Amino acid sequence: GIRLAPKEKLEVPVLFRPTEMKIYQAVVVINVMRRYGETWPYKVTAGSNTDRNVTVAENGETEGILWIYPINGTPEAPQQKPVVIRCQARQRLEQRVELLLIGVSPGAPALPGAGNSATVDTGESSNTPEVRDGSCATLEFLYELQYQSDEIRSQLESWVGMELVEKEWDTESRIVTVIFNVVFAPSKPMRNEATVAIQCTAGGLWKFPLVFIATEPEVDDVINIEAVGLNKESIVGFKLTSQTR
Q: What is the pLDDT of residue 107?
A: 59
Count of the separate structural domains present in the chain: 2
Residues 139 and 62 in one domain: no
Q: Is 1 inside any structural domain?
A: no
Q: Is 4 inside any structural domain?
A: no
pLDDT in tens, the chain (245 residues): 888 888 888 898 999 999 888 889 999 988 888 877 777 776 666 665 555 577 777 777 778 888 889 999 989 998 889 999 999 999 999 999 999 998 887 655 544 444 555 544 433 333 333 334 444 346 788 999 999 999 999 999 999 999 999 988 887 888 899 999 999 999 999 999 999 999 988 888 999 999 999 999 998 888 888 888 888 888 888 888 776 66
CATH number (domain holding residue 206): 2.60.40.2310
DSSP for 67-84, please give it.
EEEEEEE--BPPPPPPEE
Residues 56 and 122 in one domain: no
Which of these three, 14, 47, 73, is where a domain ends?
Answer: 73
CA dist 184 and 96 (Å) reads 11
Residues 128 and 51 in one domain: no
Q: What is the pTM of this model?
A: 0.67
Domain coverage including residue 209: 83-215
Label residues 72-100 b or e (16+ Cβ within 10 Å = b). Answer: eebbebeeeeebebebebbeeeeeeeebe
